[in-house]
Amino acid sequence: MTYIKTSSPKPGVVLIELNRPEKRNALNNATLQDIAACLQDLETDAAVKAVVITGNTQCFAAGADLNELVQLDVVSIQQDQRPLLWKKIDEFSKPLIMAVNGYALGAGLELALHGDMILTGENAQFALPEIGLGMLPGAGGTQRLARLVGQQLTMRWAMTGEMISAQTALQHGISSQIYPVGLTVQYALELAEKISKQAPLAIRAIKQSLKSIHEVTLSQGLKLERQHFVWLAATQDRQEGINAFLEKRKPEFRGV
């Protein structure tokens, strides 16, 4: 793991820090590989309940690495490993929180959009600058962002590369809250900790259910939701949750 640092600042919570500050955390293949591999490890680690990804206070991630992009022609780009890496990140089944301070540009914004929740610092700036290079966002920038904020704004942002401030991002539902820069990661970790104490199977079901909203129709989605609901009835954690409520105590979930 050359380009990321991992730590566990709270029980059940892993913090991944992008660590390529000299390149403003540009997401080269190796960094993306590191993130995907790390999440794959955390996927199977039962002690890990939630993950936070952050950059540094000035920069979340400033896009793809142009030195790598310039080497790809229309033939070699067919064998580009990046779509596979993005898919691995997308498939992570535990809660993934993005703590975004500073710039999240291009692939940086796209990485943020792979999170289940985005919290930002006041200095956060998002953009899809690919158009300035004669390209378009290639890792869901047009697709995920449009599903989040609608076609109008995405069209504008993708066609101009305009900066999106923390305030604008909050206003349009890209993020759920803005914090002073020095506290973004702290609050993201607290949020992750709060989630880590919930019943893991229910959290997983919630994530699956919500991630399907853009894939299926409402009636299909309602069916899926109901299936999760029924399936969770067989879990011990559900019994524990209800018992604890009736006995006026805090539940202790075990993920079974």
Which residues inside 194-233 make contact with another protein, applying CB under 8 A? Answer: none
Q: Is 9 in the site for another protein (CB under 8 A)?
A: no
Contacts with another protein: how many residues (CB under 8 A)?
5
CB of 58 to another protein, least distance (A): 11
Neighbours of 32 (CB within 10 A): 24
CB of 122 to another protein, least distance (A): 9
CB of 113 to another protein, least distance (A): 26
Structure tokens at 170: 């909050």
- Please say which residue, 43 or 190, places its beta carbon nearer to another protein: 190
Q: Is 86 in the site for another protein (CB under 8 A)?
A: no
Q: Is 21 in the site for another protein (CB under 8 A)?
A: no
Q: Which amino acid is at 15?
A: L
Q: Is 182 in the site for another protein (CB under 8 A)?
A: yes
Structure tokens at 56: 């540094």
- Residues 201, 25: Cα–Cα separation, whole Å: 33
CB of 187 to another protein, least distance (A): 9
> Looking at the chain, how many residues does it have?
256
What is the 3 state secondary structure string of 205-241?
HHHHHHHCCCCCCHHHHHHHHHHHHHHHCCCHHHHHH
DSSP state of 130: G
Q: Which ranges in the chain belong to alpha helices (H)?
A: 29-44, 66-69, 82-90, 107-113, 141-149, 151-160, 166-171, 184-196, 200-211, 218-232, 236-246
Exposed/middle/buried for residue 161 (C-beta within 10 Å: 0-12, 13-18, 19+): middle
Q: Is 179 in the site for another protein (CB under 8 A)?
A: yes
**Span of 53-61, 111-119, 136-144, 177-185 interacting with another protein by CB under 8 A:** 177-185
Q: Is 150 in the site for another protein (CB under 8 A)?
A: no
- Please say which residue, 184 or 196, places its beta carbon nearer to another protein: 184
Q: Is 180 in the site for another protein (CB under 8 A)?
A: yes
Bridge pairing between strands 125-127 and 164-165: antiparallel
Q: Please check whether residue 170 is in contact with residue 122, taking contact to mean a CB–CB distance below 8 angstroms.
A: no
CB of 124 to another protein, least distance (A): 15
**Span of 80-88, 153-161, 176-184, 217-225 interacting with another protein by CB under 8 A:** 176-184
Q: Is 173 in the site for another protein (CB under 8 A)?
A: no
Q: Is 103 in the site for another protein (CB under 8 A)?
A: no
**Tokens 């591999």 label which residue?**
37
CB of 115 to another protein, least distance (A): 22
- Please say which residue, 21 or 180, places its beta carbon nearer to another protein: 180
| Footprint on this chain of another protein (rule: CB under 8 A) | 179-180, 182-183, 186
